Structure 1
Amino acid sequence: MSTSYSTWPVVLVPYNLPPWICMKQSSFILSMIIPGEKGPGNDIDIYLQPLIEELKQLWSGVETYDVLRKENFNLRAALLWTINDFPAYANLSGWSTKGRYACPCCAAQTCSKWLYNGKKFSYMGHRRWLDENHKFRFQRTLFDGTEEYRGAPEQTVGSEILFMLKDINFSYGKMNQPPITQKRRRSRDESDDESDEEDDPNEAELWKKRSIFFELPYWEHNILRHNLDVMHIEKNVCENIIGTILNVDGKSKDNLQSRLDLVDMRIRRDLHPQVLPNGKYRLPPSIFSMSKKEKEVFCMVLKDIKVPDAYASNISRCVSFKDRRLYSLKSHDYHILMQDLLPIALRCCMSKNVTSCIIELSNIMKAICGKVLNVEELEKVQDRAALTLCNLEKIFPPSFFTIMVHLVIHLPHEAILGGPVFYRWMYPIERFLSKLKSYCRNKRYPEGSIAEGYLAEECMTFCSRYLEDAETRLNRPSRNAGLNDHDLAETYLFQSYGEPIGKVEIVELDDISWIQAHRYVLFHHDSMEPLRNEYKQILRSRARSRRLQHREINKLFTESFHEWLSQTVWSGKDVNDEIKWLSQGPNRVIKRYSAFLINGYRFHTKYHERMRRTQNCGVVVNSSITSYASARDSNPVEGNVEYYGLLTDIIELDYYGRWKVILFRCDWADVNTARGIKKDQFGFTMVNFSRLIHTGEQLMDEPYVFSSQVKQVFYSKDPTDEGWYVVLRNTPRDLFDMGNGSRDDIVERSETLPFPEQNLDENIPSTRKMRRRRLRGLSIVQNTPNLEEGSSEQQTAVGSSNVPETLDEPEEFQTENGGTRRVRGRTLLSDLYDLDPANRVKVSRNTYGQPVGSEARLLAGYIGILARNANMLPINYESWHHMPDSNKNQALANIKDRFALEVSDDYIKKTLGKKWRDNKSTLKKQYFKKDISLEEKLRNVPPGMLRYQWEDAVRFWNSKKGEDRERVGISSRQKQKFTHTLGSRSFASVAEAEEVKSGQKVGRLQLFEITHRKKDGSPMTSEAREIMEKLKDKKAEYEATASTDSSVNLENIDNRIITEVLGPESQAKAEVQRLRDQMAQMQANTVEQIAEVQRKYEELQRQLRAEAAEREAAAAEREAAAAAREAEHRKKYDDLQLQLQQMMQMFQQSQKPPS
């Protein structure tokens, strides 16, 4: 009740309720009130006896009447755990939370040290939770002056506690306690080893009592019996940090006494106090010390920040510029500071090492306090918590580490045992206690006032449940609930319904805004997909005659689709009523709102909140975009990009009473250039709203989005970088998506950390070990000697011309007008290099021996990287066949170090050759300019290329042989009538995807048709259409013959038809294809049969290589003969030229007059 009067209510919280009801005050049961005026202390067990007896009865079962079913049933209940603050933890559990062994989780294994100057205990020793060989364990001076060899303590289970305390008697009551003797003051000359550490203390003697809860028959089996107070732990930790870094008098843990403790412990000599000539002490600045200017910047960030509605209180009122400190913060204020605002304020005024540790501590608290928890992630959080606390030990003095700071190490484990923290923390309990305190009208009898007020409240709550038509406290929607009328919601498209707030304004849209809003609806409506494809096909057909590029076609489509749709529909095209309504467009007269509620968020326009202390105009939307490498790029790249904006307008489109759509118009930051978005050194996303895109001034702009697409963010102004803002995300309150309980659903609904995870091993120079992570979604195997790798080549068929698709990451491309555009760049595969060396990525194969799956894409990307490595595979060889086997084997071994391959070595080498030739061709196209001299060509060395290799390659390309080979290649490409439409995807991956989709095997004919059609289903060229028809007719002919002639075999019919239509293949190649099909059909053959087929296959492979060598030799002979003939013709031409010159001279002499 006050500092002089203490009343202890005992509240029961039923957990068999939904999460949005469970922790509400209407669900709490006030079971008893322990009277004051002093706290009960250990005597609380006396007051709890009636409750314990009732809990025993509920465990056995109580007969109860069910009004709904009109029958009796046996009601049973159990006490799961207790929720209490940390001092009450000692009264309920029996373990003292003060002194040397104050940690109830570590118990007798608590690591503490008495600080003689600070006159208190310091709880460090967090190195016990690190790996056995971690470097921190052996660093003395950076920690407490000792090396750490102990392991993490194990918590004592309930049965062991009962066994320890079974023969010990405890006395209750103030009169029965032994007399308190005066504590002996510790002597300065006492040895630390003797007085500071007790070897193996008797844990039974450290218990104050045996808790009355052990009388419950199941209590000793509960793993988690009493919860640590997360609310006050977070509050005290944040208060310690703020008080220390701001050097607040009375709150800072860095003072003269703490520095003298460093002297006693013989650690951190650079921080020892220095004695001045006048006898005073000078404290050297520490790594976390802040100057006056830095403190002002810190306070400025917190003073200027605006947070969303219902997010937090107005923290700016607690900031004092004069004193450079924070005043009158509540527990929830510290919660918001710890999890969101403190790292933002420190990032621009504190050293990187300290800021990184505090950011990581913030991430840990954020992960623990999430609505959805993942056990595997919490286990990682446990390791990160240990590492973070160890790094804090290297930064802050020992006096910083109070028992509350130490308890952070146990919070992840309790979250694993008890689940989400919001079921177990003190915030709802503290609010309920505040409400009970408001019932106290008669201060002479406060307990009676609370009881009467609570009973009256319960009676009114009971009666209000029967008032269905009246709005009561129980059925009133929450502050940011949004629209609850489901009938009205059905009239809104794209789930854009919500609840508008404030005054409605009726305005008329201008032409450009009307087109942009209407067009956005048409482009996202599913029923418009066939019509959109139809119009795109029309534009493509027109573009063939006008030679328009893909980007120009998209521009025409964007600008004119709404007009074409309206003209097409109203000209009599057979469409449904929904399309007819949408085709006519919305009414130009629209409703405009200044605030809107949807999905648990409250949004305000930027103009509406200009004078408010809250910020509700920040939005973020994830959108799919199409990126072009240039104006002539015909293969654009699709990708998702997050756009950050400020809400400027909220409009409601009305499709003439049939449909309605809520659209948000925003000022979008330019996320396509580094001048509009960037990441700082800590990984924070920063945006610049002086660089905008999609402003709505041009017809092609898209300033509108659906209200259901956006999520809320808020921005903090960067005081050191003009015009830039840090992005912070907001999570809606009281919004629970229960999902279907699957693991994927849990991952999707898990709350992401607000800040990027900090790598403390990089930030702290003395620590270099880094945990490696497993690649998500890939098959990983241990990197052990694989005895089956040698036989993998004997089980894999190769010979396909397919190359796996590659993984490319976007990069910025400089355009002619000076701007940048995101295009597909070089393969990076940064995740692959983070893989533990003990693991490899397992690459599977299909029945034809081709790599498939997501691992195949990773393999192809890595092969491309090796093919571009000039040191491993030089480019100064005329062809891949001239490349030494040592280089090829080196590349192959490098691949096998990272991948467990089921495909053969020949396939890998063949793919390497294809990538090597592609890289060589790209270099020639970009850097080998024909219109410059040879010397300039030799000097134009590509970045990262060895000069001698480039000079050899240039001389070959510039030679007669290189020019002849180029002409042969150009001639061959000109003869190619068509190509496939897969881009970088392989035939194998397409075939696998089609087989998974259809459930049937994909033959060569079907694969040919799939890979030679456009997105709209039409053949890519007229030649491809003609061949498809021939293939189809030929197959129908064979099927008709087979229906009358049983001797016709249709098993290998695809290969026969391909040969007849596309031309004969070489005998060896056809036999290889037959063997591949045979191996694919073998399911239960013996090892001898497989070996025989493999032997034939290898023999035919050798024959193929011999034929290829013969063809290459014949081509070389033809080139030599052509060169000889050309030399002979040139010689004859020169002779004729000489004869003609002689004749001309003779003719000129004959025309001269005689002298």
Structure 2
Amino acid sequence: MPIAEYDDILDIVHELLPPDSKLLDNFYQSRKLLEGLGMPYVKIDVCYNNCMLFYKDNENKEKCDFCKANRYEDGGKKIPRKVLRYLPIKDRLQRKFLPVDHEFRQQANAFRKNTRVSEEPPSILTGDEMQRHLDRFVGDSDTYGKLHNWTHALCFRQLPYFQKLLLPHNIDVMHNEKNMAEAIWNTCFDIGDKTKDNVKARLDLAQICNRPSLHLVQRNNGKWDRPRGPFCIGKDDKPTILKWIQDLKFPDAYAANIRFLPDNVWRSLAEVSYFYRQLCAKELSKDVVRSLEQNVAVLLCKLEKIFPPGFFNVMQHLIIHLPYEARLGGPVLARWSYPYERCIQKLKKKIRNKARVEAAMVEAFLVEEYQKLASIHNVLCQMSYGFRTQVTSYGCYDINGYRFRSEKYEKGRPELTTINTGVCVTSYDESDNALEYYGVIEDIIKIKWEGSIKLELVLFYCRWFDPTPNGLRRTEDLGLVEIKHAARLKSFDPFVMASQVTQVYYLSYPCKKKELLPWWVVYQVAPHGCVPRNTDNTESMSSEETIHEVYQEEGLDGTFVIDLGDALDTIISSGFDEITDPKDLETIEKAAVQDEGYDEEDIEEEYESTEEEEEPMDEEAEETYDPNDF
């Protein structure tokens, strides 16, 4: 709102008030009053090139010590070229691998062929050790790529306390999880240029790994075939899955459980999912973090047995460090990018003066703080008079970042493409043991109290599923919850307050196995920062428009324990796909020219050797891998 418009509104209000009213006259007086609440911000001049702050000992300097740029704009007035606005915290808050004896280390052909690992894992360097490492190698081009890969040192290492930090670097779990999920999806569905199981990856696999069943095969007519990996969804299954996804209805703004892969592969991918769910929970116990640290290396090794070497880049290997960082830095909620990116997006919407972007953001932020302090209502007195005897039934209700709809409402609108009827409420027994009840909303009822203050209570009338072992089963090591949709809980109060529930949705299995048909998989829904506005105003209501909290699951029960996946050593290809892309064929021809000295008899011998039982290898023929060399 422009200042002039604000002043005009105050003038109109003054005409309606008595002459001795203490209402402020204008925007300037209002601003001065708010400043008295004790939540100021400090403006600090900054070098235009971000070299230094004109602060404390440098407060009176007019040029940057480093780039010599002027502090002020050209002209008579001292107008700083760039300003930092600092919100003081005080005023607001007064508030890596496997164990040495692990069996995977001695499997010479399960990972890199003819290789066993005998050395201990690399140790985590202290700040002083890392600094000595950097001083030795940074700028040393002769040893680059041999002894190190350092190109430069971070500017933060100039800080006097940086070497003392236990967690000097922080991996962004948000981008790590996103990139990992995209790599798995694109590879399992063999999506064009996005899959990591391409021709180049198979050529690398032939050089690095002992998996002849996945080597490229040339037919008698000269055409090349690529054996289909056990991790790839079959061509006949893809339409089934896509049709299943098309028929699914998710909650608003959400868009899954695919069981067409071999069980050993599916289970490994489910363990990846459970790893991230455990890691990203709001609460992390020491036992959970310890189990994550102990098993994350095994999890990555299982993925190495499944996917080709080309699947793994830096982002996949960074997973090994995430549990260690969680042990030092705590839950990821204050360390990943979600809250910062959402906050920046929110602040950008508040910009009114584009000539002073930072100032406009800070001013709008302060106004919000003032409003929160001023919003105090006395509702107990009004509640004592009782509520109205008539209630209102609604079809939709928005609360806590969720959009709920009643089953009655959705059945009357077959054109809806989403489903928002699933709910979960948690109760506790005398021993403080949690019991979750899952249900479906049948109706939404709102109760109102008499009085001047808008005081109301919304209740959900629900049909509840049986929470006993007869109707609910859990796979604890995967974090999987399933309910039998025909089992009902009759002796239970159907009403629950809307503010007490979280949203879930139920997924049937795409495959038609009899043992799976009666069961639905339960998925918890994460609330959104902003629920899309309803368009049907006659049968919907909204208690909140924006939620500022970033959603994470509560602390999950149990610890992260995975099996060794012995069946992964016997997986083979599930068919062949002809290679027709000209670029892929060109890549194969180039590789054939480079390897023309490699005799075909060697290939046949290599293939035949895999059909025989693996014999002990001479230690001289083995390659010993030392992780400290990298």
Secondary structure at the residue paired with 1:140?
Answer: coil
Given the two structures, how large is their TM-score scaled by the length of structure 1?
0.35
Instruction: Name the structure 2 match of 1:669.
Output: 465
Question: Match of 2:182, as an amino acid?
Answer: E
Distance 1:276 1:380 in 2: 48
Instruction: Name the structure 2 match of 1:357.
Output: 268
**1:621 partnered with 2:416:** no
Whether contact under 8 Å (1:357, 1:760) holds in the other structure is no
Secondary structure at the residue paired with 1:129?
Answer: coil
C-alpha spacing 1:262/1:220, structure 2 compared with 1 (3 Å) = same
Question: Match of 1:132, as an amino acid?
Answer: V
Give, in angstroms, the shift of residue 766 of structure 1: 5.8
Q: Which of 173, 176, 182 in structure 2 is aligned with 1:233?
A: 176
C-alpha spacing 1:148/1:225, structure 2 compared with 1 (3 Å) = same
**1:457 partnered with 2:260:** no
Distance 2:294 2:216 in 1: 34
Whether contact under 8 Å (2:280, 2:553) holds in the other structure is no
**1:393 partnered with 2:304:** yes
Distance 1:751 1:27 in 2: 35
Deviation digits for residues 561-598 of structure 1, max 9, x if unmatched? xxxxxxxxxxxxxxxxx9xx99xxx9864333334455
Whether contact under 8 Å (2:275, 2:560) holds in the other structure is no
Whether contact under 8 Å (1:592, 1:651) holds in the other structure is yes
**1:647 partnered with 2:455:** no
Secondary structure at the residue paired with 2:283?
Answer: coil
Percent identical among aligned pairs is 31
Alpha-carbon RMSD across the aligned residues, in angstroms, is: 4.9
Question: Match of 2:395, as an amino acid?
Answer: S
Deviation digits for residues 427-450 of structure 1, max 9, x if unmatched? 34445676899999xxxxxxxx99
Whether contact under 8 Å (2:265, 2:568) holds in the other structure is no
- Residues 824-843 of structure 1 aligned to structure 2 (within 5 Å): none
- Residues 693-842 of structure 1 aligned to structure 2 (within 5 Å): 693-694=489-490, 702-707=493-498, 709-721=500-512, 722=517, 724-732=519-527, 751-753=554-556, 759-761=562-564, 764=567
Secondary structure at the residue paired with 1:761?
Answer: coil
Distance 1:425 1:30 in 2: 28
Question: Match of 2:523, as an amino acid?
Answer: L
- Residues 303-452 of structure 1 aligned to structure 2 (within 5 Å): 303-309=246-252, 313-315=253-255, 341=256, 344=257, 346=258, 348-430=259-341, 452=355
C-alpha spacing 1:760/1:485, structure 2 compared with 1 (3 Å) = farther
Whether contact under 8 Å (1:599, 1:732) holds in the other structure is yes
Secondary structure at the residue paired with 2:195?
Answer: coil
Distance 1:430 1:209 in 2: 28
Whether contact under 8 Å (1:295, 1:349) holds in the other structure is no
Instruction: Name the structure 2 match of 1:118.
Output: none
Whether contact under 8 Å (1:491, 1:660) holds in the other structure is no
Give, in angstroms, the shift of residue 406 of structure 1: 0.6
Question: Match of 1:130, as an amino acid?
Answer: L
Q: Which of 210, 216, 226 in structure 2 is aligned with 1:273?
A: 216
Whether contact under 8 Å (2:251, 2:419) holds in the other structure is yes
The count of corresponding residues between Structure 1 and Structure 2 is: 464
- Residues 551-570 of structure 1 aligned to structure 2 (within 5 Å): none
Distance 2:463 2:162 in 1: 58
Question: Match of 1:365, as an amino acid?
Answer: Y
Deviation digits for residues 203-236 of structure 1, max 9, x if unmatched? 5xx4323433232221221222232232322222
Whether contact under 8 Å (1:436, 1:454) holds in the other structure is no
Instruction: Name the structure 2 match of 1:685.
Output: 481
**1:251 partnered with 2:187:** no
Distance 2:350 2:426 in 1: 49
Distance 1:601 1:760 in 2: 36
Distance 1:28 1:147 in 2: 59
Instruction: Name the structure 2 match of 1:608.
Output: 409
Larger radius of gyration: 1
Gaps of 5+ in 2: 1-39, 60-87, 91-95, 531-551, 571-630
C-alpha spacing 1:613/1:266, structure 2 compared with 1 (3 Å) = closer
Instruction: Name the structure 2 match of 1:592.
Output: 393
Distance 1:220 1:260 in 2: 43
Whether contact under 8 Å (2:393, 2:443) holds in the other structure is yes
C-alpha spacing 1:690/1:275, structure 2 compared with 1 (3 Å) = same
Given the two structures, how large is their TM-score scaled by the length of structure 2?
0.61
Higher helix share: 1
Instruction: Name the structure 1 match of 2:120.
Output: 151
Whether contact under 8 Å (1:664, 1:705) holds in the other structure is yes
Q: Pick 1 or 2: higher relative contact order, CA cutoff 8 A, min separation 6.
A: 2
Give, in angstroms, the shift of residue 727 of structure 1: 0.7
Secondary structure at the residue paired with 2:420?
Answer: coil
Instruction: Name the structure 2 match of 1:811.
Output: none
Gaps of 5+ in 1: 1-25, 35-46, 59-74, 78-127, 172-177, 182-197, 316-340, 441-448, 469-473, 477-483, 493-577, 626-637, 695-699, 736-748, 768-1155
Instruction: Name the structure 1 match of 2:379.
Output: 488
Distance 2:45 2:134 in 1: 29
Distance 1:29 1:303 in 2: 54
Secondary structure at the residue paired with 2:123?
Answer: coil
Instruction: Name the structure 1 match of 2:37.
Output: none
Whether contact under 8 Å (1:271, 1:285) holds in the other structure is yes
Distance 1:702 1:466 in 2: 40
Give, in angstroms, the shift of residue 271 of structure 1: 1.6
Give, in angstroms, the shift of residue 667 of structure 1: 2.0
Give, in angstroms, the shift of residue 397 of structure 1: 0.5
Distance 1:373 1:453 in 2: 42
Question: Match of 1:593, as an amino acid?
Answer: Y
- Residues 472-551 of structure 1 aligned to structure 2 (within 5 Å): 487-488=378-379
C-alpha spacing 1:759/1:297, structure 2 compared with 1 (3 Å) = farther
Whether contact under 8 Å (1:729, 1:754) holds in the other structure is no
Whether contact under 8 Å (1:623, 1:640) holds in the other structure is yes
Give, in angstroms, the shift of residue 668 of structure 1: 2.2
Instruction: Name the structure 2 match of 1:836.
Output: none
Secondary structure at the residue paired with 2:236?
Answer: helix
**1:222 partnered with 2:165:** yes
Secondary structure at the residue paired with 1:147?
Answer: strand
Distance 1:407 1:285 in 2: 28
Question: Match of 1:728, as an amino acid?
Answer: Y
Secondary structure at the residue paired with 1:286?
Answer: coil
Distance 2:250 2:43 in 1: 34
**1:140 partnered with 2:123:** no
Whether contact under 8 Å (1:301, 1:717) holds in the other structure is no
Whether contact under 8 Å (1:359, 1:758) holds in the other structure is no
Question: Match of 1:353, as an amino acid?
Answer: N
C-alpha spacing 1:159/1:375, structure 2 compared with 1 (3 Å) = same
Question: Match of 1:291, as an amino acid?
Answer: G
Secondary structure at the residue paired with 2:439?
Answer: strand
Distance 1:664 1:587 in 2: 18
